């Protein structure tokens, strides 16, 4: 069964080899759908596949690959724009990533990204506060920006370019989108052995695809709880409250960062920049919600 997941990943690699990754927008779901339909009967496979969301997976760009942003380096802010800090005069934040919105527009995702401009992502070293700055495409930016005094734990990370591809993402166990399917859906035996259950087969597929990753949009990884539920909880709602599900549905994952390039988020964690759909549509990045999931 694990070999089946590896074969699916190899098919995806061969299908996009010899051409730029942006050419694969229309087939991001094909191999995943085939894999799920092999494991589940139609009455279970189709409702599950209907929940699938496209996301933009980011990885370190290789030679000749189209770049859509970068990790680390200096933020290249416009002259006169202060380096983001936590609170009013608090410690300077770490610069984590930059995304080129025009370049990302060539890839499909499930969120309403700006069609142009640049997004800069900052967070405190412990990721309890974060800031996202959107710069217009005609912004005049200072190539070399003076780095403020950072907290002892914080640092400037090496600069590395990012490439992109569109991938399928799916809700994890416990996600509101899957409540009606029940836990037995995840524990359904789909292999030749009783321990080969659907949840583990999905994990094998994800591992064959490269495992956890930097990602824009889609379902974020949920090591504990989905970002949607955590954001609704932070808004003062509880799962039994009538408005909890509605509030959770308003939140999306703007950017997920895995530990890479020297970045550390807790104990083997990921950092998710959550944002409400209405604020994203209004291009208001002043109230992002940082959420770290770790062990």
CATH architecture of 2-293: Roll (2.30)
pLDDT per residue of the chain (295 residues) written in tens, 0 to 9:
445 544 544 444 333 333 343 333 357 889 899 999 999 999 889 989 998 999 999 999 999 999 999 999 999 999 889 999 998 888 999 999 999 999 999 999 999 999 999 999 999 999 999 999 999 999 999 877 788 888 888 889 999 999 999 999 998 776 766 666 766 788 899 878 888 899 899 888 888 877 778 999 999 877 778 888 889 999 999 888 889 889 999 999 999 999 888 898 877 789 999 999 999 999 999 999 999 987 6
Q: Which of 170, 172, 191, 197 is nearest to 4 (CA)?
A: 191
In 89-207, where do the E strands start and end? Answer: 94-100, 118-123, 130-135, 160-169
Domain residue limits, the chain: 2-293
Predicted pLDDT at 177: 67
Query: Which pLDDT does position 163 carry in this prediction?
Result: 97
**Cα(270)–Cα(220) distance, rounded to whole angstroms?**
10
Q: Looking at residue 9, what is its pLDDT? A: 44
pLDDT at 4: 53
Between vectors from CA 240 to CA 239 and to CA 245, what angle results, nearest 5°? 55
Dihedral sign, CA of 48, 53, 58, 61? positive
Q: What burial letters (b/e) apply to 119-146, b meaning 16+ CB within 10 Å? A: bbbbbbbebebbbbbbbeeeeeeeeebe
- State the pTM of this model: 0.88
In 3D space, the residue among 248, 251, 293, 286 whose CA is nearest the CA of residue 271 turns out to be 293
């Amino acid at each position: 069964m694990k070999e089946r997941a590896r074969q699916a990943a190899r098919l995806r690699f061969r299908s996009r080899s010899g051409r730029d990754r942006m050419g694969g927008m229309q087939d991001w779901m094909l191999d995943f759908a085939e894999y799920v339909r092999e494991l589940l009967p139609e009455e279970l496979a189709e409702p599950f596949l209907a929940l699938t969301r496209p996301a933009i997976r980011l990885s370190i760009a290789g030679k000749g690959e189209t770049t859509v942003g970068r990790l680390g380096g200096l933020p290249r802010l416009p002259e006169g724009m202060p380096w983001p800090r936590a609170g009013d005069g608090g410690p300077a934040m770490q610069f984590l990533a930059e995304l080129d919105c025009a370049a990302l527009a060539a890839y499909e995702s499930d969120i309403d990204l700006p069609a142009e401009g640049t997004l800069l992502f900052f967070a405190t070293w412990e990721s309890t506060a974060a800031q996202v700055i959107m710069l217009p495409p005609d912004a005049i930016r200072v190539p070399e920006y003076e780095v403020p005094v950072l907290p002892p734990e914080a640092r400037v990370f090496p600069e590395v370019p990012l490439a992109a591809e569109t991938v399928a993402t799916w809700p994890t166990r416990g996600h509101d989108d899957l409540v009606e399917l029940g836990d037995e859906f995840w524990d359904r035996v789909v292999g030749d052995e009783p321990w080969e259950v659907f949840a583990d087969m999905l994990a094998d597929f994800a591992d064959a695809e490269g495992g956890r990753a930097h990602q824009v949009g889609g379902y974020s990884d949920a090591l504990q709880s989905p970002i949607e539920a955590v954001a609704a909880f932070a808004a003062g709602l509880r799962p039994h409250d009538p408005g909890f599900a509605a509030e959770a549905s308003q939140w999306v994952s703007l950017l997920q960062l895995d530990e890479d390039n020297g970045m550390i988020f807790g104990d083997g964690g990921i950092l998710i920049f959550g944002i409400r759909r209405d604020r994203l549509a209004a291009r208001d990045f002043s109230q992002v919600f940082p959420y770290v999931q770790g062990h």
